[in-house]
């Protein structure tokens, strides 16, 4: 029988990285961690009060074979894509974008007086879904329920279920849970993370420890990947704690990865590059309609 409370199996401090047209961010995990985080491919965190760290943004670029999940904590990110979506992702909003067979989009953080902060998570698609039609979900903060369990714990539920409340993002192949959890000083929370699922937590603010054998506190910016078990327990320190909590069903499929395109085989990457060269990459396109 596996220990029901999961221990931390590995910690990731995050590595300063320059991405897009020159955005300074911290990369928690990516290519080198395949298959540790399967079905998750990458987690970047943005956080800066210096516009020169983020204004260059992520101009028009392609994606194929993945879902990109952008969660903005502070500031604003303007976006547009070849499906005809365009708008602004503001503080508290989530964009859950399924690139499927191909999308070309841009993600441009806007100048703000305060901090610009947020996350981008890449969720892998199973082989059978990689060439499906792209789909876009734009959720405002109001669309995302916040659950209070009455014992010093609040969680915004983007995907999955917590406290009997299901998040608005449903029907994703790897059945993800995506929570933004806040725990009052000294309070404890137990989070479901069923056997066989990949589970990790990324600390945002405060401090606390995840039980189950490794009580050393997890500091803001640090990510804890959990070993086997069926749930995760967190006890907040004196300042309380806030963290992203993410779980999903692993795919156990080969990964062939080139930049923003993640497939199963190298010949699929070559084909994607050839299609980009020929202007045949985007299979589903809607013209941008002025409203
Ligand atoms: Fe992108």
Note the pLDDT tens digit of each residue in 136-146.
999 999 999 99
Ligand 1 centroid, distance to 243 Cα (angstroms) = 23
Ligand 1 centroid, distance to 36 Cα (angstroms) = 22
Ligand 1 centroid, distance to 67 Cα (angstroms) = 9
The C-alpha atoms of residue 245 and residue 199 are separated, in whole angstroms, by 8
Confidence of residue 161 (pLDDT cuts 50, 70, 90): very high
Residues paired with residue 258 on neighbouring β-strands, in sequence order:
261
Residue 288 has a pLDDT of 44
Q: Which helix (H) or strand (E) holds 190?
A: strand 188-192
> pLDDT digit string (tens) for 124-137?
999 999 999 999 99
CB of 90 within 8 A of CB of 72? Answer: yes
Averaged pLDDT, 243-266: 98
Taking the complete model, does pTM exceed 0.75, yes or no?
yes
Helices (H) and strands (E) in the chain, counts: 1, 23
Ligand 1 centroid, distance to 245 Cα (angstroms) = 22
Ligand 1 centroid, distance to 277 Cα (angstroms) = 19
95-109, 187-201, 202-216: the lowest-pLDDT one:
202-216
Look up residue 186 and give its two tokens.
């000294």
Ligand 1 centroid, distance to 20 Cα (angstroms) = 9
Residue 3 has a pLDDT of 59
Considering the four listed CATH numbers 3.90.1010.10, 3.40.50.11540, 3.30.43.10, 2.60.120.10, the one that applies to the domain covering 14-248 is 2.60.120.10
Ligand 1 centroid, distance to 200 Cα (angstroms) = 22
CB of 62 within 8 A of CB of 276? Answer: yes
The C-alpha atoms of residue 210 and residue 215 are separated, in whole angstroms, by 6
Contacts with 60 (C-beta within 8 Å, 6 or more apart), sequence order: 104, 105, 106
């Amino acid at each position: 029988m596996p220990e029901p409370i999961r221990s931390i199996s590995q910690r990731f401090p995050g590595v300063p990285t320059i991405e897009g047209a020159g955005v300074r961010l911290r990369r928690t995990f990516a290519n080198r961690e395949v298959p540790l985080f399967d079905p998750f491919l990458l987690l970047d965190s943005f956080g800066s009060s210096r516009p020169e760290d983020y204004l260059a943004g992520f101009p028009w670029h392609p994606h194929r074979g993945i879902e990109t999940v952008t969660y903005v904590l502070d500031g604003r990110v303007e976006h547009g894509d070849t499906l005809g979506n365009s708008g602004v992702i503001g503080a508290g909003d989530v964009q859950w974008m399924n690139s499927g067979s191909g999308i070309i989009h841009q993600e441009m953080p806007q100048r703000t007086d305060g901090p610009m902060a947020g996350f981008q998570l890449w969720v892998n698609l199973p082989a059978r879904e990689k060439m499906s039609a792209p789909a876009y979900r734009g959720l405002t903060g109001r669309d995302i329920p916040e659950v209070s369990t009455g014992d010093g714990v609040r969680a915004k539920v983007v995907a999955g279920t917590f406290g009997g409340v299901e998040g608005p993002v449903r029907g994703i192949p790897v059945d993800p849970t995506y929570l933004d959890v806040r725990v009052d000083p000294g309070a404890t929370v137990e989070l479901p993370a069923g056997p066989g699922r990949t589970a990790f937590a990324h600390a945002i603010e405060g401090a606390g420890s995840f039980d189950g054998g490794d009580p050393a506190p997890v500091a803001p910016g640090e990510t804890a990947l959990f070993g086997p078990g069926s749930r995760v327990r967190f006890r907040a320190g004196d300042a309380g704690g806030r963290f992203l909590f993410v779980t999903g069903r692993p795919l156990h499929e080969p990964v062939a990865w080139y930049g923003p395109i993640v497939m199963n085989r190298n010949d699929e990457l070559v084909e994607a590059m050839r299609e980009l060269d020929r202007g045949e990459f985007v299979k589903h396109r809607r013209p941008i309609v002025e409203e």
